[in-house]
Structure 1
Amino acid sequence: MSLDKVMMPVPDGHPDVFDRQWPLRVADIDRDGRLRLDAAARHIQDIGQDQLREMGFEETHPLWIVRRTMVDVIRPITFSDMLRLRRWCSGTSNRWCEMRVRIDGRKGGLIESEAFWININRETQMPSRISDDFLAGLQRTTSIDRLRWKAYLTAGSRDDALEIHEFPVRVTDIDLFDHMNNAVYWAVVEDYLAAHPALLKAPLRVTIEHEAPVALGDKLEILSHVYAPGTSDRCGPGLADRTVTTLTYAVGDEIKAVAALFAL
Structure 2
Amino acid sequence: MDPALVAPRPGGRTFTAEVVAGLGDTAPGGRVRLDAIARWLQDVAYRDVGDAGLLDDGTWIVRRLRIRVEAFPSFDERCELTTFCSGVGAVLAERRTTIRGDAGAHVEAVALWVHLEPGGDGLRPPSDAYREVYGTSAGDRRVRARLFHDPAPPPGSPARPFAFRAADLDVADHVNNAAYWTALEELLAGADAPAVPYDAEIEHRVPGDAGPAAITGDAAAAWILDPAGTTLATIRELHA
Superposition TM-score, scaled by structure 1 size: 0.83
SS in 1 for 2:28: coil
Q: Which runs of 5+ in 2 are unaligned?
A: none
Supply the distance in 2 between the matched residues of 1:262 and 1:146 (Cα, whole angstroms).
22
Give yes or no for the alignment of 1:34 onto 2:31: yes
Contact 1:199 1:263 in 2 (8 A): no
Amino acid at match of 1:9: A
1:185 to 156, 180, 189: 180
Quickly say closer, same or farther: Cα 1:123–1:38, change in 2 above 3 A: closer
Aligned-residue Cα RMSD (Å) equals: 2.1
SS in 1 for 2:39: helix
Deviates more, 1:251-260 or 1:179-188: 251-260
Supply the distance in 2 between the matched residues of 1:124 and 1:199 (Cα, whole angstroms).
37
Q: Give the structure 1 partner of residue 204 of structure 2.
A: 210
Measured after TM superposition, the shift of residue 175 of structure 1 is 1.5
Q: Which runs of 5+ in 1 are unaligned?
A: 227-244
Q: Give the structure 2 partner of residue 240 of structure 1.
A: none
1:101 to 83, 88, 97: 97
Q: Percent identity?
A: 25
Q: Give the structure 2 partner of residue 113 of structure 1.
A: 109
Q: Give the structure 2 partner of residue 236 of structure 1.
A: none
Any residues of structure 2 matched to 1:138-157 within 5 Å, and which? 138-157=134-153
Supply the distance in 2 between the matched residues of 1:100 and 1:30 (Cα, whole angstroms).
25
Give yes or no for the alignment of 1:221 onto 2:221: no
Give yes or no for the alignment of 1:201 onto 2:218: no
1:6 to 4, 16, 27: 4
Provide, for residues 2-46 of structure 1, a one-character-per-residue CA deviation record: whole Å limited to 9, x for no partner. Answer: xx85310245x7561101112111110111111111001111111
Supply the distance in 1 between the matched residues of 2:122 and 2:7 (Cα, whole angstroms).
31
SS in 2 for 1:168: strand
Supply the distance in 2 between the matched residues of 1:102 and 1:14 (Cα, whole angstroms).
17
Superposition TM-score, scaled by structure 2 size: 0.91
After the TM superposition, which parts of structure 1 deviate over 4 Å for at least 4 consecutive aligned residues? none
SS in 1 for 2:47: helix
Deviates more, 1:104-113 or 1:122-131: 122-131
Q: Give the structure 2 partner of residue 50 of structure 1.
A: 47
Q: Give the structure 1 partner of residue 56 of structure 2.
A: 59
Provide, for residues 232-256 of structure 1, a one-character-per-residue CA deviation record: whole Å limited to 9, x for no partner. Answer: xxxxxxxxxxxxx111011233111
Contact 1:72 1:111 in 2 (8 A): yes
